[in-house]
Structure 1
Amino acid sequence: MSGSGAGPIGAPGREVLLGAVRGQRRDVALGAVLGAAHQTGEALVPVLIGVVIDQAVAGGDAGALARGLAVLAVVYVGLSFGFRFGARAGERAAEQAAHTLRTRLVRRVLHPGGGAEQGRLPGALATIATEDAKRVGAVAMAVMAGTSALAGLLVGAVVLLRISVPLGLVVLLGTPLLLWLGHLLGKPLERRSEAERERAAYSSGVAADLVTGLRVLKGLGAEPAAVARYRRTSRDSLVATLRAARAEAAQNGVVLALTGCFIALVALTGGRLAAEGRISLGELVSALGLALFLLGPLEVFAWVNADLAQGRASARRVAEVLAAPPAVTAGGALPPRIVRGAVRLRGVAHGGLREVDLEVAPGELLGVAATDPADATALLRCLGRQADPGTGTVELDGVSLRELDPADVRAAVLVAEHEADLFEGTLRDNVAAAMPGDAPPGTLDRAMAAAGADEIARALPRGADTVVSERGRSLSGGQRQRVALARALAADRPVLVVHDPTTAVDAVTEARIAAGIRELRRGRTTILLTTSPALLAVTDRVILLHEGRVGDAATHADLVRRHPGYRAAVLS
């Protein structure tokens, strides 16, 4: 892919994890240093208490007691500072890593070459870009916390070695074993976490799909079937989530039990050494305090293992999206400096299309009436280069679209599909979303008038500055169609392909829109894929697509008079 910034193709999950940490290495390093300072301070507290007991309490030295308490106060201030600012740096690294990853995912999904959405519902992509990205970002915090805990363990081990070699060896030999067991216990959690995220993403996708088609479902009376489908999907997601939760609980419980046994072993060893007189009372207190302190770092390691297991599972899902091959690849040719708008199809076969030959002259207003809606969809995908035809070529001003970068094709050819979504914002912002920055004054108003969207603005409380809700749900179906058409017209592309833009408007408004499109697009190539007689009547020429082939070509009036198949498709 070119120009996407979506990340390297084929990036495995491990590279995604490492990249998330490397990208925030400054905050991770700062957090690790400050966290290590906090853990070092925590480890020194029982040591200082032991020293105070030996020098001040046992010896009855009040001055030594005061000095010891002052040192303890300084240590507490330092470790508090280290925790506060270290945790802040770690959280910042985690959030920034997740944000960066979300940005990469959005770039990949929106890349002109497409392909990321193949086999995935929109809701599933949203889950990957939110929850999975968040889990991968949390790995930066886990690395920082793990490094800090390791520093605390090392300091505790060194102190224990100085107190007693047997105690130090117990810690140094037992800790790696405990970590290895925690890693093994994390494997089932990793597998179940991945299954849980897959089920959750699919469930979100089904929910988004059902909400989008809610009106259609109500019209068909299919709500019970839709609810039953979502219940099954949600139940599967719940089962996967419970399995992952049980695996996490089992891992944490077993690791905590092993940790408790380990701490008990350290305390038992220290107690025997004190009973034999090989260490002092203060050193015994220090050893027991360190044994209790070690519980904290070891619990952190259990949490880090769980976080890494979930992060690895999410990273694999993120990597799959980033590594998804593009639906169309960029060619090496450059588009014409000035696009005239000549479109030509030679022997195109794609979907239901069979050997389609078609020429559109620059500035022509062409109508295409397809007897099969699937053929219209296939033609749209080829003209917008959402897919390359299996055989044949689609050319723009003599250059094959296959040889152009998809972004260059979209800059010259705008395909306005029938199901066009609006976004949350004002009516004016929706129409001006794709309008070029150098558009002449009045472009937006002319586009709205041509699409009949000016009537909508006059009927709204604040006119064109009225806020439209998400996906335009505050507007009726016909209003959404007119706003979407106005947006396509305001984009002012050299070639505009419009698919059924007036199916939800009344006949009078449709006739006005047809005249507006013809007037506004005069001199620029426009292709109307529709079976609306009002729209086809204003075109220069109409192509009839029947059974995947060009069945006839003439003016709308001539086709109505001479072709029964055309009459059935357009007038029925």
Structure 2
Amino acid sequence: MQIRDLPYADPGRPDVRSGPRLLVWLSRKQWTGLGQAMAWGVVHMTAVALFPLAVGLAVQAVSDRSGGRLAAAGGFMLVLGALTALGDMMLHRRAVTNWIGVSARLQQLLARKAAELGAALTRQVAAGEVVAVSTGDVEKIGWFVEAQSRFASSALTSVGVCVALVVYQPALGLVVAAGVPVLALAVLPLLPHATKRADEQREKAGRATELASDTVAGLRVLRGIGGEELFLSRYRLASQEVRKAAVHSARMWALIAAVQVVLPGLLLIAVVWYGVGLVRDGRIGVGELVTVYGLVTFLLFPLQQFEEIAMAYSFSRPSAQRTARVLALRRPTAAESDGESHVVPTGGLNDPASGLLAPAGQLTAVVCGDPDAAGRLADRLGGHAADDTGDLPSVLLGGTALNGLPRETARAAVLVQDKDPVLLSGTLAELLDVPASGAVAAEAALSAAQCGDVLAALARSSADGPGDPMQARITERGRSLSGGQRQRLALARSLVTDPEVLVLDEPTSAVDSHTEARIADGVRSLRKGRTTVVFTSSPLLLDRADRVVFVQEGRAVAAGSHAALLHSDPAYRAVVTRRTDDEADLGLLEFDTSEQIGESA
């Protein structure tokens, strides 16, 4: 795999049964790149390991006054230098490629999961947790998978050096071969403590990230109520807790690093002390002692790789566990796509759980006294809401269960626009360039959503003066626009899509009454003959609906026209008019009296 091949055509189906299983799955997916990195790592480390041998040969040649052997040793050094440079360069290239490849695969999987779950994702996992997983956790997992190749090459080279030392100089080689495993395993008792501290740091960092996300998202409201400083002080406190946890964790890793320096130093002292005695006794030459000393010094480098792989696993294991938990989320009873095209079902939309029925080809308005319950019901109509128990029956479209359809088919059939739609940065033309039937032109959708003033504002905002509003840029989340302007552009985007069923949750809550009336007429005209469901309590929208359904405590308790429900249902009247029962009865009496006077006249 090369970086130019990203993104993957298919990132695969991960093993999400546990964090370690996810790590194993990622390693198998990257096995070609890991194998190449390991091979180049062996070339690099073998060349470095052989330098002491070349130096020893040179020293021995000088001691024996042999010019030929000295020249051969010099040529050997040049070859080893070239191999060291080549191996190091290629190892770095493959290591970075592996890291980016693993990170890209995980980010694609997370993006696919977010698209699959939609709004249900943040109901099952906190938004701050999703952000932390898709940034910091992805990097830690990529680090561990990439480090495996360097660890494997270090382990192979270390074993080879120890065997070579035993063969080359058995007396000193046995001391080194016995000491290296002890050095590599000496840090194991410290790892559980280091992992625990790293987990505490990650947990506190996740809470701080979530707090920061909430603060930024609600900054305008916080400024309005004067709570900005309160939330900033809370974030400062959370940030300091993260700093203290990071220092606490760093101290343990510093101790592990110190152990990895002190113990090899003691081994090196023991080898030199023992080797000097052997030289004095004439059992080995000076060049052989220099070679053994250089090889033992080289072994300090692979030992650092052992420390790194231990640290990488300690950080990546909890990260992989969290990532696996997010990737394991599923749409309840949703069918998986088999790669074949499926016909989008047609007909009315029926929710057996609530009793809500939206007849085919009609504009149905839904009145719900609880806005949060309305949002959950809107998501359910689109097949997005999560039902952990699995007890609720699926929503039916023309008699076909939405949860029984592949995700792509269900999304093509029913489009849900929530009450707080997001506008991505880019031009207006790019915003409206969405999968669509092609039956609704962008101009018609913008006109129906009453976006004339928005187009004029976008045209004026161009740096080059008034120009084509379709090429005007929209800032991140549409922050340069007012709430009503963002809402109307989002409505136009939904209308362009022209789905079989369009579900709108409070699409006009941020616009004035005159604009709202024109939007109601525009949507009714543009969606004529198409099934449309609007969650609203606005009389202007309700009066233009073909059918109004009143939902109370999760059940559809009444249905009819807006005028009929105003007369017959006090609870409906109270929700729509926002009056108490006594006020509503008085208002109805006045309405009936005026109507009778008009008839008499």
Q: TM-score, normalised by structure 1?
A: 0.90
1:463-482 mapped onto 2 (5 Å cutoff): 463-482=469-488
- The whole-number CA distance in structure 2 between the counterparts of 1:33 and 1:60 is 38
What CA distance in whole angstroms lies between the structure 1 residues aligned with 2:56 and 2:394? 84
Partner of 2:503: 497
Helix, strand or coil: the match of 1:135? helix
C-alpha distance in 2 between matches for 1:328 and 1:236: 42
**Pair 1:128-2:133 in alignment:** yes
The residue aligned with 2:261 is 256
Q: Which residue identity lines up with residue 19 of structure 2 in the other structure?
A: G
Given that 1:331 and 1:402 are in contact with CA atoms closer than 8 Å, whether structure 2 keeps it comes out as no
- Sort the Cα spacing of 1:492 and 1:47 in 2 relative to 1 into closer, same or farther, 3 A: same
The equivalences for 1:423-434 within 5 A come to: 423-433=424-434
Q: Are 1:313 and 2:312 counterparts?
A: no
Is residue 370 of structure 1 aligned with residue 396 of structure 2?
A: no
Q: Distance in 1 between matches of 2:343 and 2:327?
A: 32
> Which of residues 378, 381, 386 is equivalent to 1:380?
378
What secondary structure, in the 3-state scheme, does the structure 2 residue paired with 1:154 have? helix
> Kindly tell me: are residues 396 and 191 of structure 1, through their superposed partners in 2, closer, same or farther at Cα, counting changes over 3 Å?
same
Contact 1:485 1:501 in 2 (8 A): yes
Over 3 Å counting, the alpha-carbon distance change for 1:156 and 1:453 in structure 2 is same
- Measure the CA separation in 2 of the matches of 1:456 and 1:64: 84
Matched, 1:63 2:68: yes
Q: Aligned partner of 1:25: which letter?
A: W
Tell me the distance in 1 between the aligned counterparts of 2:574 and 2:487. Answer: 25
Conserved 8 A contact 1:336-1:397 = no
1:86 aligns with 2:73: no
Alignment of 1:23 with 2:21, yes or no, is no
Counterparts of 1:40 and 1:482 in 2: how far apart (Å)?
Answer: 66
The 8 Å contact of residues 139 and 308 in structure 1, kept in 2 or not, is answered as yes
The answer for unaligned runs of 5 or more in structure 2 is 1-9, 460-466, 579-601
Q: Which residue of 2 aligns with 1:352?
A: none
**1:152–1:338 CA distance, 2 compared to 1 (3 A):** closer
Q: Partner amino acid for 1:412?
A: A
Q: Could you say which residue in structure 2 is the equivalent of 1:141?
A: 146
Alignment TM-score, normalising by the size of structure 2: 0.86
| 1:116 Cα offset (Å) | 5.1
Contact 1:146–1:300 (CA under 8 A) maintained in structure 2: yes
CA 1:515–1:336: 2 relative to 1, 3 Å? farther
The letter of the residue matching 2:433 is A
Spell out structure 1 runs of 4+ moving beyond 6 A.
Answer: 331-336
Contact 2:344 2:413 in 1 (8 A): no
Q: Which moved more, 1:119-128 or 1:548-557?
A: 548-557
Give the deviation of 1:118 after TM superposition. Answer: 4.5
- Find the counterpart in structure 2 of residue 185 from structure 1: 190
1-side partners of 2:294 and 2:32: how far apart? 33
What's the CA shift for 1:250?
1.7
Q: How big is the shift at 1:547?
A: 4.3
Q: CA deviation at 1:184?
A: 3.2
Q: Could you give the per-residue CA deviations for residues 30-65 of structure 1, whole angstroms, max 9, x where no partner exists?
A: 22112111111111111111112222x112233332
Aligned length: 558
The 3 A distance-change label for structure 1 pair 156 and 358 is closer
| 8 Å Cα contact 1:116-1:325 kept in structure 2 | no
Give the aligned CA root-mean-square deviation in angstroms: 2.7
Change (3 A) 1:146 1:338: closer
1:303 is aligned to 308
Amino acid at match of 2:375: T
In 2, Cα distance between equivalents of 1:30 and 1:332: 35
| Conserved? CA contact 1:193–1:313, under 8 Å | no
| Aligned counterparts of 1:331 and 1:30: Cα–Cα separation in 2 | 35
Structure 2 vs 1, CA of residues 358 and 286 (structure 1 numbering), >3 Å: closer, same or farther? closer
Per-residue deviation, residues 81-105 of structure 1 (Å, max 9, x unmatched)? 1111122112211221121122122
Rounded to whole Å, the distance in 2 between the matches of 1:7 and 1:117 is 22
Report the equivalent of 1:439. 438
Cα distance in 1 between the residues matched to 2:248 and 2:511: 51
Whether the 8 Å CA contact 1:95–1:138 is kept in 2: the answer is no
**For residues 35 and 118 of structure 2, what CA distance do their matches in structure 1 show?**
37
Asked if 1:34 corresponds to 2:40, the answer is: yes
Structure 1 gaps of 5+ residues are: 349-355
User: How many Å separate the matches in 1 of 2:384 and 2:147?
Assistant: 41
2 CA distance for matches of 1:336 and 1:313? 39
Cα 1:40–1:468 shift into 2, 3 Å: same
Q: What letter is aligned with 1:429?
A: E
8 Å contact kept, 1:113–1:326: no
CA gap of 1:5–1:150, structure 2 versus 1, over 3 A, is closer
Aligned to 1:351: none
CA contact 2:449–2:523 (8 Å) conserved in 1: yes
Q: Answer yes or no: is 1:7 the counterpart of 2:10.
A: no
